[in-house]
Amino acid sequence: MKKKVYQILEKYIDEKIILEKPKDAKFGHFATPIAFSLAKKLRKSPMIIADELVNKIIDEPNFKEVTAIKGFVNIKLSSEFLDEYSSYALKNENKFGKSDKNKKILLEYVSANPTGPLHIGHARGAILGDTLYQIARHLGYEITSEYYINDAGNQIEMLGNSVFLVGQEEILNLSPQFPDEFYRGEYIKDLASKTAQKFGETIFEDKKNIEKISNFAKDEMLELIKLNLQSVNIEFDGFVSEKEMFKKWNNSLTKLEKNSAVYTKDDKLWLKSSECGDEKDRVVVRDNGQPTYLAGDVIYHDDKFKRNYDQYINIWGADHHGYIARVKSAIKFLGYDESQLEVILSQMVSLLKDGEPYKMSKRAGNFILMSDVVDEVGSDALRFIFLTKKSDTHLDFDIEMLKKEDSSNPVYYINYAHARINQVIAKSGKNIESLSDVKFSSLDESAENLLFNALLLPEVLEDVFNQKAPQKLADYLKTLAGSLHKFYNSHKVIGADNEDELLKLLATVAVSIRVGLKLIGIQAKYKM
């Protein structure tokens, strides 16, 4: 819709145009401050220029009204213009907002260590990533989702050792000496039990078996993580193993050496990351000859960029903020364009229950499990609430709020709007196919504004993806639902003189709610 307005204005104005949505709907559907940017060039007052532009545009048939107010040119769209987009949305719901972007994107997110079930912090990044993935696909991008399995290094060894020691304690009834750092919780006991079932209890008699236990436990945890993700309707296009990636280390290291990106000091190999904006150089190979965690990122991003995507997006926990500069420096030293990588940070979450901190999971030991919260409030509520704030800001909420059936619960409030519309349409005896051919001719201003806001969904989705800000979609849906409830409470629909027009309007609102919720991962309810 906005794109077409641009195209229309370009017939009259040979300058770069900015379109805004006025804060007060009475001024119009769109406004442009173009007169202010032309003032210096034309040596005229913005108010005079705005008046002149209005005189040029005023007879445009797609515009119902064009006015100049304090230097701004305000535009109200015609009923015919709105009708065209409404009919398209009703007849092409799956294509509403879609276009051919001709751009390939690789999106990596979650990538939690397979050493335990997903906790509530992982869930936020997972829901953020999947929502961006769904929106990108809907908009027409060729996007691939990927999970980087951190299955190399000390954490996997610690998982195996933890299962081994718990197996000795719980299954062999021994009294092993536990180290200061080990994984604890009921899930470790479950892993020990599954290990005994798979290999026999004797596997806990010899420390030489720890590597075998580590690999088995890691695989079991990865399957559990996949189940955790499926519980909130998330599936990945592909999984990449860090352990397998390390087999390519020599190739990546050769590139770094060729580009003079590394040097040796104190028997360690250092990356010259300070030359590319990092606060200091970073170790990529320890003095014992073992590559560091950063080396894994170097190999993985070398592998990513070899696959020739147009853009790479990583969603990391906020505690990885310091890694951005060093990883981008590695990308540059490998010979790629580091500006192709965008990193989105996801902050932690605090849960309350009746105003009190939510209890830690006994099964996990020291954190809140994603599965516990899904069991309590459901996938829909969890997905929506995690998208109500910008991802790099702290999120806290009371899960009891998500169980309420009133306007304080945004998921209920939006679904109620959708169900309400479908109830009215069902009562009318009309169907969407017949309503899509109805022409708008007598909508009042409040009805036109509701219709306009419903038709803004494609623009909202573009903005959401460009800014990687899915909270804007959540806000849009809440606002649209609120506008619908207000309109319904003040307007008679069934039996009105323009009943079919109003039903078409409501059906259009329902499409936007339905599509918007679907992209968040929620199926809209038809009855409540």
- Mind listing the pLDDT tens digit for each residue in 220-241? 999 999 999 999 999 999 999 9
Judge if 64 and 88 occupy the same domain: no
Q: What are the strands, taking DSSP E only, across 92-141?
A: 104-108
Residue 423 lies in a domain: yes
Sign (positive or negative) of CA dihedral 131, 466, 121, 110: positive
- The β-bridge relationship of strands 142-149 and 30-32 is unpaired
Q: Which amino acid is at 498?
A: N
Of these ranges, 69-73, 209-213, 440-444, the one predicted with the greatest mean pLDDT is: 209-213
Q: Give the SS3 label for residue 178.
A: coil
Residue 516 lies in a domain: yes
Longest dimension (CA), the chain: 91
Q: Domain end: 77, 92, 116, which one?
A: 77
Please provide the distance, in angstroms rounded to a whole number, between the alpha carbons at the two ends of the chain.
32
How far, in Å, CA of 461 to CA of 62, rounded?
Answer: 24
How far, in Å, CA of 33 to CA of 72, rounded?
Answer: 5
Q: Report residue 362's pLDDT band, with 50, 70 and 90 as the boundaries.
A: low
Q: Where are the alpha helices (DSSP H) in 378-470?
A: 379-385, 410-428, 432-435, 445-455, 457-467
Judge if 453 and 437 occupy the same domain: yes
Q: Which helix (H) or strand (E) holds 164?
A: helix 154-170
Mean pLDDT, rounded, for 33-50: 91
Judge if 482 and 447 occupy the same domain: yes
Q: Domain end: 43, 77, 111, which one?
A: 77
Residue 217 lies in a domain: no
Q: Reply yes or no on whether the pLDDT at 361 is more than 80.
A: no
Judge if 422 and 505 occupy the same domain: yes
Q: Reply yes or no on whether the pLDDT at 360 is more than 80.
A: no
Predicted pLDDT of residue 439 = 95
Containing structural domain, residue 70: 2-77
Q: Give the contacts of 185 (CB within 8 A, at least 6 positions apart).
A: 116, 361, 362, 363, 364, 365, 366
* 2-6, 103-107, 206-210: segment of lowest average pLDDT: 2-6
Name the percent of the chain lying above pLDDT 70: 99
Judge if 94 and 38 occupy the same domain: no
Q: What are the strands, taking DSSP E only, across 10-71?
A: 30-32, 63-69
Q: Give the contacts of 499 (CB within 8 A, at least 6 positions apart).
A: 428, 493
Q: Reply yes or no on whether the pLDDT at 438 is more than 90.
A: yes
Q: Report residue 463's pLDDT band, with 50, 70 and 90 as the boundaries.
A: very high
Judge if 8 and 67 occupy the same domain: yes
- The β-bridge relationship of strands 356-357 and 349-353 is antiparallel
How far, in Å, CA of 479 to CA of 461, rounded?
Answer: 15
Judge if 452 and 510 occupy the same domain: yes
Residues 69, 32 contacting (CB under 8 angstroms): no
How far, in Å, CA of 358 to CA of 342, rounded?
Answer: 33
Kindly state the tokens that stand for 315.
């969603």
Partners of 314 in the β-ladder: 108, 343
Residue 391 lies in a domain: no
Residue 78 CA: distances (Å) to CA of 25, 120, 256, 439, 448: 15, 47, 60, 12, 9
Q: Reply yes or no on whether the pLDDT at 475 is more than 70.
A: yes
* Residue 30's CATH number: 3.30.1360.70
Judge if 13 and 86 occupy the same domain: no
88 C-beta neighbours (distance < 10 Å), count: 16
237 C-beta neighbours (distance < 10 Å), count: 12
Q: Reply yes or no on whether the pLDDT at 205 is more than 80.
A: yes
Which tens digits make up the pLDDT trace of 293-303?
999 999 999 99
Mean pLDDT of the chain: 94
Of these ranges, 347-361, 434-448, 503-517, the one predicted with the greatest mean pLDDT is: 503-517
* Residue 459's CATH number: 1.10.730.10
Residue 429 lies in a domain: yes
Judge if 41 and 94 occupy the same domain: no
Q: Reply yes or no on whether the pLDDT at 365 is more than 80.
A: no
Mean pLDDT, rounded, for 239-255: 96
Q: Reply yes or no on whether the pLDDT at 98 is more than 90.
A: no
Closest residue by Cα to residue 451 from 22, 27, 81: 81
Q: Which string of DSSP letters, residue by residue, matches 350-361? A: EEEETTEEPPPP
Residue 494 lies in a domain: yes
- The β-bridge relationship of strands 341-346 and 311-317 is parallel
Q: Give the contacts of 146 (CB within 8 A, at least 6 positions apart).
A: 106, 107, 108, 236, 237, 238, 239, 240
State residue 406 phi and psi, 5-degree precision.
-155, -175
Q: Domain end: 62, 77, 92, which one?
A: 77
How far, in Å, CA of 110 to CA of 425, rounded?
Answer: 41
Mean pLDDT, rounded, for 490-519: 97
Residue 33 lies in a domain: yes
Residue 229 lies in a domain: no
Mean pLDDT, rounded, for 201-221: 97
Kindly state the tokens that stand for 85.
């987009």
Q: Reply yes or no on whether the pLDDT at 261 is more than 80.
A: yes
Kindly state the tokens that stand for 457.
């969904």
Number of structural domains (the chain) is 2
Q: Which helix (H) or strand (E) holds 298?
A: helix 293-306
Mean pLDDT, rounded, for 314-334: 95
Residues 415, 524 contacting (CB under 8 angstroms): yes
Judge if 479 and 507 occupy the same domain: yes
Q: Report residue 139's pLDDT band, with 50, 70 and 90 as the boundaries.
A: very high
Residue 452 CA: distances (Å) to CA of 21, 337, 412, 480: 11, 41, 23, 10
How far, in Å, CA of 48 to CA of 54, rounded?
Answer: 10
Predicted pLDDT of residue 457 = 97
Predicted pLDDT of residue 364 = 66
Residue 266 CA: distances (Å) to CA of 263, 271, 401: 10, 13, 56
Residues 131, 521 contacting (CB under 8 angstroms): yes
